[in-house]
Structure 1
Amino acid sequence: MQLRQDSHTVPPPAPAAGPLLSVRKLRVRFGGITALDDVSFDVARGQIAGLIGPNGAGKTTLFNCLSRLYAYEQGAITFDGQPLEKLPRHRMAALGMGRTFQNLALFASMSVLDNIKVGQHARTRKGFLAHALRLPGVAAEEEACSQRAAELVRFLGLEQVARKPVADLPFGTRKRVELGRALASAPTLLLLDEPAAGLNHEEVGALGDLIRAIRDQFQLTVLLVEHHMGLVMSVSDHVVALNFGRRIAEGTPAEVQRDPEVIQAYLGAEA
């Protein structure tokens, strides 16, 4: 299905040259532990990129740096040509970065539809006073948000549970709700933090199809952290492998799968 574009939306400028995301020589320490050590890689526009590595490799730390939840002592991150070092974390959604989390970050007592509406907060223009006084334009903006959320509900196949509280839903369905919440912010880069965690085999297969559909439908870029190797290798155009905070391999899925350091990291020296 094709999602409606709001009539008041200004067409985006032509894509800039170069990668959408660039990470250069990133280093993060927690006390005496080095979580990331001189990590560098790029994510091209329109790409599905996978970030893999054993537990403790630094994948979620890197995601938290991209989201500005963690500070880094060395290196640089550039998103769509803009350095992130001095930007506050609340600017990330408006800048075009959407994210899901390992542990679901939803409002359990709110409905599916309302949770997805929350994701549009960074894209609305009317403030608290305008809503309190019901100034001109508020009703139109609320209607546009409701329509956008309803379209995302349909796209994600959530129509049957749209009015139900999130707390009443199974884990796999809540995963889709969080994905809808992230998409509601209209990101250009979608960060998926272990989206297959807790899903069964059938749900993982459907998730792979959904990730590709999201990239194509919304014309965005995806950076995926995941332990499920079958999923990562089937959907990714490019893969970056970390181990003990270092980048140990980068390339196509086939190249990374054959890399000796990746094999050793996952299967041990004897393999």
Structure 2
Amino acid sequence: MALYGAPIWAGRLNSKTRALLRRPQRVIAQRIIRGYKTIGHAAACALAGTIPWELDARLLAERYNQRTELRIADERLAPRELEARLDAEKKRARDRWKSQLEDEPYGTYTVAVLLTSFDSWLDRKSGTLTYRQVQVMTGHGCFGHYLYTIRREPSPVCHHCGYEDDTAYHTMVECLTWAPERWELEMALNVDDLSLHNIVAKIIVSERSWAAFHNFCEKVMRKKEEAERAREARADAHPLQQRRRGVRRRQFVNALIPQ
């Protein structure tokens, strides 16, 4: 629906209309990857493997123009020639996407990693992202740094080891609390450095490695989430840490009270 009539309007896109296209696609991509709403358009689409709609519209316009030229010239392509042309168009679209990602100001933590194995990431035959895997791959999740950024913590400190900045990288590589889980993942992936670059390079070529990374994320992030809920439930919790009640949740509770 979003790309209806794309050959007509693809060449007239500007910054305002691109933003209109990106807004709903960002929401869809976030749901595909089961990620937080704060994940940017570039990172969400790259993780989901969905090409930005403005680039897809440009590709559709090019195909339409080529078919029009062939029709005017009364030419028909052989199936092999048509397949080769489609492959070339797909490669050009990916190259444009890569160039666009390199200039994106948001989601650089995730985008930089995926760009090193971009084609392999998009062409992988297995591996479905989970909610907790996406937290680790984006840094948007139960990390002190992120919670401090969205004003859910008074500081970015790590509550598990006391380090001053609890990021996804700190959880993956540095925090001593997760040493047993980290050792299991290192053995499964056969790596000495659990940087996200090394992890992605391993999991896209092996279902076993993907499962090992999945298990690590589930174990570690589940424990971090349980610790966060325990902090929220404390009587002396900081005001920023106290569990909030959303508008819809309050409306639901009120609806249960007899009038």
Q: TM-score under structure 2 normalisation?
A: 0.25
Instruction: Indicate the structure with greater helix content.
Output: 2
- Higher strand fraction: Structure 1 or Structure 2? 1
Asked which structure has the greater CA Rg, the reply is 2
* Structure-1-length-normalised TM-score: 0.24
